[in-house]
Structure 1
């Protein structure tokens, strides 16, 4: 048997040790390579997300660039922004105001002759306390069928409503007489102008009047105004031809053209009707309990 020399033995041992170290290193390198290949899409996705975030942040970073600082406010700046006020040169709305309105000044032609009617209202005072004047009447064939005047004190109880109290004086029909009056007036929801007044007269007579009208603006100048009015009596009053219950009803529809806000001619149609004993009194006098007429007139205020 041949014996190897010490030099080859040492060389073999060195090769064995080198191979033993190289195999784990190769396996570790191969494993890292596989992980790198598997994680590559995820790293690419993170890289794309980071790039998009940096792209979006770029304008914000650009807008966050330092700007020129705001200069300090000087005394001249304050004087220009807040000039001295001359109270004597200012114009204030007067506390006391007034308005006079003729809602209806109209005429018509009927079988019994031409007719005229008026309805007006005026107020004088402040936003909360006012003196109200109301009047309406009618003439037919040169004869005054009805005429009255109301003098009322009005107190505002809300931005849209007033409570009124005072007196009403009837000039005709029949003998003149005076009533105590109390009621409310104002603007109901949907912009209906409403007036409801109760009257207390001699011998326990009680009457009431309810009126509602609506202003429908078709154009800037053309206005359609419907109106409904109801009269109620608590007891019969044969001397004046008034029966108990709903004694009268009036419905009107008027179309006006506002040449100016203060002056507006109009045309319209009006229907009147009486009921119950009031209709009986009309028939006894040879009159019809109902009437429909075409009217023309003017509305003005100042």
Structure 2
């Protein structure tokens, strides 16, 4: 009978104690006053289990954990200190933190004078200086002063227009390094019924003055049925960001005539192979040159669109349209000679380089 009573008591009391442990001690229980001081016994833990925990950390101060110390039922939780639950931790004793503080305070003095007292090339102390100078020159030539060349036929086209079809070319070639180049440029047009109407050949020395701009200087020779001129040339050629090609040239003839030309074009990639190229050219003169049919100020304007397809980058046929207009006194000279002052041209041509 005694054993039966003990078993009945155990099955009744133990669940109540388990529920009491899980409940928030600060909750008011029915029938209990706010000042009740009934203590709930903590669960017994073995000594080895307690030794395995960090003894210097107050686990009861950490959020989300329940202290294993006895707590009075109904007692309010203590507010955390302003320093936070980790205030008892010494940050200076954490691994790595001391090293960071030391690095912040580490001085950064200049190198000692002895470090700069050696030769400009330390390898000369070990190897033959003459051999090392030869090796450095070869490295400079191969990596920073490589000689190369390129030939570009930018426009080689047939022009269909009223009054007779014609042709036009615009080609250039260069040889040199990234800094210095020798340029050859030629441009002109003519009709299939006769010879070349006008053309020129330029020989220029080019030097890079910035990552985008080349300064060019040289001479130009004109050829064709009209009056001949030889010009001194100074030009600025640029490949701008986003692939804008810009060229500005100034020509001073052997007769003291000053003229200039501005060109700009842009490659708009519709696909990797199909490219639309708008192009604008302006020609200006500082004075009237009646024998050349050129008036002072803005003399001619050309604007065109060319659509090319690059089967390979070196071979790209194209079609296009171009409008040319003579303005100002140049238009007056053209009217006096019975020429048109403006015309549309339909183009079929080829762009190639090697």
Give the TM-score, by structure 1 length: 0.71
Partners of 2:225 and 2:299 in 1: CA distance: 15
Partner in structure 2 of residue 37 of structure 1: 73
Partner in structure 1 of residue 61 of structure 2: none
User: For 1:235-292, what per-residue CA distance to the aligned partner results, in whole angstroms no more than 9, with x for missing partners?
Assistant: 1111111111101110010000001100000000000001111111111221100010
CA change 1:222–1:272 in 2 (3 A) is same
Partner in structure 2 of residue 106 of structure 1: 157
Partners of 1:300 and 1:190 in 2: CA distance: 21
User: For 1:38-81, what per-residue CA distance to the aligned partner results, in whole angstroms no more than 9, with x for missing partners?
Assistant: 23x749xxxxxx9xxxxxxxxxxxxxxxxxxxxxxxxxxxxxxx
- Displacement of 1:32 in angstroms is 4.0
Q: Is the 1:147–1:173 Cα contact (8 Å) retained in structure 2?
A: no
- Cα RMSD between the aligned structures? 2.3
Partners of 2:164 and 2:194 in 1: CA distance: 8
Q: Does 1:218 align with 2:218?
A: no
Q: Does 1:292 align with 2:333?
A: no
- Displacement of 1:31 in angstroms is 6.3
Q: Does 1:235 align with 2:287?
A: yes
Partners of 1:247 and 1:202 in 2: CA distance: 20
User: For 1:11-56, what per-residue CA distance to the aligned partner results, in whole angstroms no more than 9, with x for missing partners?
Assistant: xxxxxxxxxxxxxxxxxxx9642770123x749xxxxxx9xxxxxx
Partner in structure 2 of residue 129 of structure 1: 180
User: For 1:168-187, what per-residue CA distance to the aligned partner results, in whole angstroms no more than 9, with x for missing partners?
Assistant: 11112513221000021112
Partner in structure 1 of residue 167 of structure 2: 116
Greater Cα offset, 143-152 or 217-226: 143-152
- Displacement of 1:111 in angstroms is 3.1
Partners of 2:36 and 2:298 in 1: CA distance: 106
Q: How does 1:29-178 map to 2 (within 5 A)?
A: 32-33=37-38, 36-39=72-75, 42=77, 95-140=146-191, 141-178=193-230
> How many residues are paired up?
228
User: For 1:202-249, what per-residue CA distance to the aligned partner results, in whole angstroms no more than 9, with x for missing partners?
Assistant: 332100000000000110110000000000000111111111110111
CA change 1:173–1:229 in 2 (3 A) is farther
Greater Cα offset, 207-216 or 134-143: 134-143
Q: Is the 2:159–2:347 Cα contact (8 Å) retained in structure 1?
A: yes
Partner in structure 1 of residue 261 of structure 2: 209
SS at match of 1:38: coil
Partner in structure 2 of residue 6 of structure 1: none
SS at match of 2:74: helix
Partner in structure 2 of residue 251 of structure 1: 303
Partners of 2:188 and 2:255 in 1: CA distance: 24
Greater Cα offset, 106-115 or 128-137: 106-115
SS at match of 1:220: coil
Partner in structure 2 of residue 181 of structure 1: 233
Give the TM-score, by structure 2 length: 0.61
Q: Is the 1:250–1:271 Cα contact (8 Å) retained in structure 2?
A: yes
Greater strand share, structure number: 1
